[in-house]
A and B are shown apart, each in its own frame.
Chain A
Amino acid sequence: MDIRFEQAEARFEGRTVVHPLTLSLSERRIGVIGLNGSGKTTFARMINGLVLPAAGKVTVNGFDTGKDGDKVRGQAGFIFQNPQNQIILPILKEDIALGLKSRKLSKAETEAAVEAVLARFGIAHLGERRAHELSGGELQLAALASVLVTRPDILIMDEPTNQLDLRNHSLVERTIHSLDENIIVISHDLSLIADFDRVLFFHEGRLAHDGPPAEVIARYRELAA
């Protein structure tokens, strides 16, 4: 994985939300923390080109998010803050298969890939279920399956353990820890990212601290106190 920000800046309606940022990311597991509204989600959306830089540029594995959006999104999968809006088709299996459409696989190959990814996350029994009936934890796992079925190099997750009960929380946490993909996780849940390789701390749209988790989390606690 190779993500580069070069003086990249994000603005909404003239207001700067992420100030010009230069940064390169290659660690396998990266956490992103910061107060509400500090720009974490916007930063993450800049990585996969859902938010394009108003100035500067962002590249992912060599692809420019502004010029090669589709290629970038093939490299970097994204799990949204509300996973229920990410399941697009009514039946889970069909939804997961949707991501594979552009690969032009045979029906049998598609089915095998879908079964495999469902089994990987222990949700084979949910394949025929309707998305609007799934619980929060099930939805989070379903969203993971729907994104990882296309085998992206990088997976970005926006508050994956938000609103989960204790059991689903530890289930999703264990699942995240077992992933062998490159991951970037935004979280208010500091224990989730405590053993990651690097943590970014955003404050008021700027990267306030950047380094090993223990150090950066300590700074965050100081600020919040």
Chain B
Amino acid sequence: MKTLYVEGDTFLHRLSPRTKLVGLAALSLFLFLIHSPTVLSVSATLGGIVYASLRLGWHQSWLRLRPILLTIAIVALFTLVLNGWHDALIVITRLTALALFAAAVTATTSTGDFIDEITRLAMPLERLGLVRAADIGLSIGLVIRFVPEILGRYQAIRDAHRARGLKVRPLTLTVPLIILTLKNADEIAAAIDARGVRAQK
């Protein structure tokens, strides 16, 4: 997994992160309230046009959208078998529209902007004394930063098992992975302290 942001200067890049996030939230609500296949198909087509306007190229777009589109296909297939073609059509158009708009937003919002916006949106919670808003933004950044690292470590442990002729079982892999991850978590926490990221102002 990588961060999905791409540099650029399209209309969507210039739109404020807040407009995009709030817009996306409103749109998804709308898509789930609508049951007309026609309106949903039009939405999916619009999503396709918006996404295409980012000019990522066919290959890039396919690489980015492949996992989510495959998931949608599977869900639609099950719906087809269980509920018939009408429901399947609704599911496929609704989820495709959502996926395309969401992908367009993630491709045009940098992680930094995204974190800043989440932090701002969490400010009311901070005022209620529930959390520190900056921590929520930081946590999201940490997840995006370290998920690839943890996946890489999972592969390294799997390779180490294979190299030593040990059977690769999810459980035997998980235990060393958890230990390594916790050890790293300690170091990352120390780094956050050392760099004064959470220092009281």
A: residues with CB less than 8 A from B are 45, 48, 50, 69-70, 73-74, 77-78, 80, 82, 84-91, 93-94, 97-99, 101-102, 128, 130-132, 146-147, 150
Inter-chain CA distance A132–B151, complex, in Å, is 11
> B195 is contacted by which of A91, A93, A98 (Cβ under 8 Å)?
A98
B3 lies within 8 A of A85 (CB): no
Q: Which of B118-149 contact A (CB under 8 A)?
A: 134, 138, 141-142, 144-145, 148-149
Shortest CB-to-CB span from A75 to chain B, Å, is 10
Stretch at the interface among B9-17, B73-81, B166-174, B185-193: B185-193
B: residues with CB less than 8 A from A are 2-3, 5, 7, 110-112, 115, 134, 138, 141-142, 144-145, 148-149, 152, 184, 187-188, 190-197, 199-201
Inter-chain CA distance A77–B149, complex, in Å, is 24
State whether A88 and B187 are in contact (beta carbons under 8 Å apart), knowing that A132-B145, A132-B149 are contacts in the complex. Answer: no
Known: A73-B193, A89-B112, A98-B197. 7 other contacts (CB 8 A): A70-B200, A85-B188, A88-B142, A90-B111, A94-B110, A94-B141, A132-B145
**Which B residues are CB-close (under 8 A) to A82?**
184, 187
Identify the closest chain A residue to B138 (Cβ).
A88
A150 lies within 8 A of B152 (CB): no
B191 lies within 8 A of A85 (CB): yes
B194 lies within 8 A of A77 (CB): yes
B196 lies within 8 A of A102 (CB): yes
A99 lies within 8 A of B110 (CB): no
A74 lies within 8 A of B111 (CB): no
Shortest CB-to-CB span from A156 to chain B, Å, is 9
State whether A73 and B112 are in contact (beta carbons under 8 Å apart), knowing that A80-B187, A84-B149, A132-B148 are contacts in the complex. Answer: no
**Which A residues are CB-close (under 8 A) to B142?**
88-89
A146 lies within 8 A of B187 (CB): no
**Which A residues are CB-close (under 8 A) to B112?**
89, 91, 93-94, 97
A130 lies within 8 A of B3 (CB): yes
Inter-chain CA distance A85–B138, complex, in Å, is 15
B199 lies within 8 A of A74 (CB): yes
Inter-chain CA distance A45–B191, complex, in Å, is 11
Shortest CB-to-CB span from B154 to chain A, Å, is 13
> A88 is contacted by which of B2, B5, B145, B148 (Cβ under 8 Å)?
B145
B110 lies within 8 A of A150 (CB): no
**Which B residues are CB-close (under 8 A) to A90?**
3, 111, 141, 144-145
**Which B residues are CB-close (under 8 A) to A101?**
134, 197
Inter-chain CA distance A86–B186, complex, in Å, is 11
Identify the closest chain A residue to B201 (Cβ).
A102
**Which B residues are CB-close (under 8 A) to A150?**
195-196
B7 lies within 8 A of A128 (CB): yes
A78 lies within 8 A of B194 (CB): yes
Identify the closest chain B residue to A103 (Cβ).
B201
Shortest CB-to-CB span from B103 to chain A, Å, is 18
Shortest CB-to-CB span from A209 to chain B, Å, is 28
